[in-house]
Chains A and B, each alone.
Chain A
């Protein structure tokens, strides 16, 4: 067997090694060049791209919410301001995944900081924000709630207490239906606001001035560039180097000056205390709304604080409906308060002369019809002329007027005073009411038999019943036109704007509307006489002017809730409270130089004079007499702090 014996050949082995080393050196050079090429690609060719990524990595833009504009009354009393409040906020990406978010919310509910029923809506709000945004989930924590969270804080990552400016209403529920309120931005709000403008803003105006002037009150947010580390946590230091970070200060919202006078507003709300109803007071000289009250009211501070679902449901389901703004949204038959207007129409169209008498036997019937239309005074007023017919609110007189005018002329004339269409007040939610006409009836009803206008309906509209509907705001607006001898202004709440950082209020001029033309001073005088007589002994609302140092003109009204049969007598005692008639009153004063026009509406108030007279008088006194009670402007501390 031949076995090849290999021996070590040192020279050739050394040569092998040298060759291999050279080859390895070549390969290594190529590979190192590949790395160098890769570095060149990253650092030179893609420099801009990676540079931007690195910048985006470390700088986060944090919004600085603007401070919301203040709301002041005509005398500069603050009605809405901002106060620091502690709120619970969550940053989704720091909490973790959806499971951890659910878990954290559930545990917050378990320790009593959130209401378990609200969790789905809270979660929806959180998910509608970006993962790194801080989303408020509970506003205005009390001291106890702060302590409660502090104890459990270690269990909640990504959830913390922040100080933010919250809205505060020093007067609590006073004037809430004029001011509106602010509440947490809901998912539906997000659909129609610019998310960039509202980044960092917690509260948004709802209804009233807060809602209508949201854009002006909100202001412009600023921003601050924040250095963050990989965990998203803001840091101040980056190595030994502090980068220049941009900051843009926010611009606060405009302060708004309202036409409201808190003394008058308080008088109106005190008058309505315990009642369901509304009071609107307008200065006939410029359309400024001096008081706008709807009762019952609610405390807007609770909305700023954040209502739980249960608390909100309690408000919404309250049978007295405190959330409804009756001054704008309550449309009721205006009753006899329409009589001065029809009297004016009768004079204007020449169908009646001021001193022409009509005999009131207590009822009226159309020629060729046996149907009787009753006067409220069943025994009748006897011979009665225009002034006394207004003062005593004789229905038969106005059946005659209506019969002579006809519905077409009545509709057109009343429209000039704003009946049947919105006044255009600068806060949202107003109802248009209804001034019926044959055209309206034909448009509205489906059944051919119902589409015909019956002459009897004209009579009913003539005493402000039937289809006719008006809001308390419309009543006040209409009577302010009478008080101004036909001059009309659009009612408004905001009369001036104070830009941020300025202490000069820029007044907003009143908005004139087409005035009522073709009425002679004598004709106005007849109506004034009739309405002033109504406020005197023997009139329907004699109580209003007892001891008043100025002259008051007024007209009462009663709107039927419950239709009586032909021969039934109205017996208040027998009717359930909610079936009683609504009481209405319109008035203005002083008669020789009208400065305030008022409409009072009391739901189920039975008689406008009895219940509305004292309320209207309080409002007039508050506005026309020098301040008697110095404390009137001061916020009622007890009321504001009511839990």
Chain B
């Protein structure tokens, strides 16, 4: 029949049309698909975790729209050449904004992380999550790998300046993520194994020194991580309630919007930092493993794309974006399940909030652009 002949070809046409669109937009199909899946899942969970707050869901969809726009624009237009030009500028701009924010915070006597741009509030430290690895990659682009001692020193400064500025805000979580993004570049650039091994005791010493430098509440967070049972309704409350939420979910969970811990407010920060616990409570072990698997696919695909590009800048930037994403996932899931201290790191692409969503999708936009605009050496 006519339909029998037409249907498969129509389906194929539709598919190839989708493929053409993706290619035209310079998007990577598998990565885009999995990211979309995670984001959709995230919106559903935010609806439940916010206590069925439709306004929050609308707002989150708005955040997603802005972030997706950033991804598409960067993927289409941010060619490696532009990005290499832009990297030092972005870094300089970021440092400038951090100075402004720190000064304002000092004047306003309190934690200050935001800049109010009128339309939206904006966190300059987020720029640094991308600008720091990009500047490191930019720095190494023309230099031979592995990096020399001088290179290491230079990049150490590049990393340390914004990290310190964010840490004094104080925002220890973001500071660690910025440092991690930069250090990942060093590792991917071929930092000698001997240096890595030698630096571990140095890091321990730095941690000891940092203990005396950080704020009291941050110290409390670390202490409560070590023994959450110590003070049930005090400092350890977050971790205990989070573990109760996850543990009581069991294998299959209590069902969507049926998590008593989350719905009755026992779980703190349930739609932001502790949203992974809501997934654990309502969808159980299977739900959490599904989410972790999706993240693993994203990381694996990103890393694969990073290995396909041809120049140092693209490679290091892409690799850093991929591994930073892993760091977010690991720090957040480790925190809510009680194997890492509580640091304010959202679950990427799922936690409620626009800033981290935009930064992460912008990162993937850059990653896709670097891949799709790669020079095909030898072909």
Asked whether B338 is an interface residue with its Cβ less than 8 Å from the other chain, the reply is: yes
A351 to B245, CA, bound (A): 93
Nearest CB of A to B275, in Å: 15
CB-contact partner of A44 in B285, B295, B329, under 8 A:
B285
Contact with B along A223-238 (1 / 0, CB 8 A): 0000111110001001
Q: Which of A42-74 contact B (CB under 8 A)?
A: 42-44, 46-47, 49-51, 53-55, 57-58
Decide yes or no whether B104 CB sits under 8 A from chain A: no
Q: Is the CB of A50 within 8 A of B246?
A: yes
* CB-defined A-B contacts under 8 Å, sample of 6: A10-B377, A17-B307, A39-B280, A44-B250, A240-B52, A243-B260
A18 to B244: give the CA distance in the assembly, Å. Answer: 41
Whose C-beta in chain A lies nearest to the C-beta of B338? A38
Q: How far is the CB of B191 from chain A (nearest CB, A)?
A: 9
Q: Are B292 and A44 in contact (CB under 8 A)?
A: no
Contact partners of B262 in chain A: CB under 8 A:
239
Q: Please give 19 more A-B residue pairs, beta carbons under 8 A apart, in addition to A12-B145, A50-B244, A241-B255.
A: A8-B312, A10-B310, A13-B145, A13-B315, A16-B190, A20-B319, A24-B187, A24-B188, A29-B296, A31-B326, A36-B292, A39-B285, A43-B246, A47-B248, A58-B266, A229-B264, A229-B266, A231-B265, A239-B259
B residues within 8 A CB of A49? 247
- Are B265 and A31 in contact, with the CB atoms below 8 A? no
- Bound form: Cα–Cα A434–B143 in Å: 116
A6 interface residue, CB < 8 Å from B?
Answer: yes
Are B250 and A51 interface neighbours, CB within 8 A? yes
Partner of B285, one of A40, A235, A241: A40
A36 to B286, CA, bound (A): 10
Do A9 and B144 touch across chains, with their CB atoms under 8 A apart?
Answer: yes
Q: Is A142 an interface residue (CB 8 A)?
A: no
The answer to whether B144 and A7 have CB atoms under 8 Å apart is yes
Query: Taking the complex as formed, is A28 at the interface, i.e. its CB lies under 8 A from any CB of chain B?
Result: yes
> Are A239 and B48 in contact, with the CB atoms below 8 A?
yes
Q: Is B356 an interface residue (CB 8 A)?
A: no
One of A29, A42, A228 near B243 (C-beta < 8 A):
A42
3 shortest interchain CB distances as A-B pairs = A50-B247, A54-B248, A239-B257
Contacts known (A17-B315, A25-B300, A50-B247); A241 close to B264, Cβ less than 8 A: no
Interface centre among B48, B264, B265, B280 (most CB of A within 10 A): B264
Interface check A249, CB cutoff 8 A:
no
CB of B263 within 8 A of chain A?
Answer: yes
Interchain CB contact (< 8 A) of A230 among B187, B259, B266: B266
For B261, what are the chain A residues with a Cβ–Cβ distance below 8 Å?
A: 54, 57-58
Interface majority SS on A: helix, strand, loop or mixed?
helix
Give the total number of A-B pairs whose CB atoms are below 8 A apart: 171
List, in ascending order, chain A residues with CB within 8 A of B259's CB. 239
Are B289 and A42 in contact, with the CB atoms below 8 A?
Answer: no
A111 at interface by CB-CB < 8 Å: no
Minimal Cβ-Cβ distance residue in B for A47: B250
Q: Is B260 a contact partner of A58 (Cβ separation < 8 A)? A: yes
Is B249 an interface position by the 8 A CB rule? yes
Q: How far is the CA of A241 from the CA of B48 in the complex (A)?
A: 12
Does B339 lie at the interface of the complex (its beta carbon under 8 Å from any beta carbon of A)?
Answer: yes
Closest-by-CB residue of B relative to A5 is B144
Report A's interface with B, CB cutoff 8 A: 6-10, 12-14, 16-18, 20-21, 24-25, 28-29, 31-32, 34-36, 38-40, 42-44, 46-47, 49-51, 53-55, 57-58, 227-231, 235, 238-241, 243
Q: Are A230 and B264 in contact (CB under 8 A)?
A: yes
In the complex, the answer to whether B247 meets A43 with C-beta atoms within 8 Å is yes
Docked Cα-Cα span, A240 to B48, in Å, equals 9
Question: How distant is the Cα of A241 from the Cα of B259 in the complex, in angstroms?
Answer: 9
Q: How many angstroms between the C-alpha atoms of A85 and B48 in the bound complex? A: 42
**Bound: A39/B247 CA distance, A:** 8
Interface check B251, CB cutoff 8 A: yes
CB-CB < 8 A to B265: which residues of A?
229-231
Specify which chain B residues have a CB less than 8 angstroms from the CB of A17 in the assembled complex. Answer: 188, 190, 306-307, 315-316, 319
Closest chain-B Cβ to A238's Cβ sits at a distance in Å of 5
Residues of B near A18 (CB, < 8 A) are 307
Inter-chain contact B337/A35, CB cutoff 8 Å: yes
Q: How far is the CA of A49 from the CA of B295 in the complex (A)?
A: 29
Q: Known: A9-B144, A42-B246. Contact between A21 and B307, CB under 8 A?
A: yes
Residues of B179-217 whose CB lies within 8 A of A: 184, 187-190
A43 contacts B303, C-beta separation under 8 Å: no
CB-CB under 8 A from B333, the residues of chain A are 35
Interface centre among A38, A43, A235, A238 (most CB of B within 10 A): A43
Any A CB within 8 A of the CB of B139: no
Asked if B258 and A239 sit within 8 Å, CB to CB, the answer is yes
Q: Is B30 an interface residue (CB 8 A)?
A: no
In the bound complex, what is the Cα–Cα distance between A14 and B306 (angstroms)? 10
Q: Separation in Å of the A368 CB from the closest CB of chain B?
A: 89
Q: Which residues of A contact B296 (CB under 8 A)?
A: 28-29, 32
CB-nearest residue of chain A to B145: A13
What residues of chain B lie closer than 8 Å to A21, measured between beta carbons? 188, 303, 306-307, 319
Residue in B145, B190, B243, B312 whose CB lies within 8 Å of A50: B243
B125-148 vs A: 1/0 string, CB under 8 Å?
A: 000000000000000001111101
Question: Roughly how many angstroms separate A384 CA and B305 CA in the complex, as a whole number?
Answer: 135
Expressed in whole angstroms, the Cα–Cα distance for A629 and B142 within the complex equals 119
Q: Does B68 contact A (CB under 8 A)?
A: no
- Please indicate the chain A residues that have their CB under 8 angstroms from the CB of B264 in the complex: 57-58, 227-230, 235, 238
How far is A543 from B232 in the complex, measured between Cα atoms in Å? 80
Pick the residue among A6, A20, A29 that contacts B190 (CB under 8 A).
A20
Q: Are B330 and A31 in contact (CB under 8 A)?
A: yes
Q: Which A residue sits closest to B144, measured CB to CB?
A: A6
Q: How many angstroms from the CA of A39 to the CA of B248 in the assembled complex?
A: 11
User: Which residues B334-358 have CB closer than 8 A to chain A?
Assistant: 334, 337-339
B284 close to A (CB within 8 Å):
yes
Question: What distance in Å separates the Cβ of B266 from its nearest Cβ neighbour in chain A?
Answer: 4
Question: B266: nearest residue on chain A (CB-CB)?
Answer: A230
Contact B292 A32 (CB under 8 A): yes
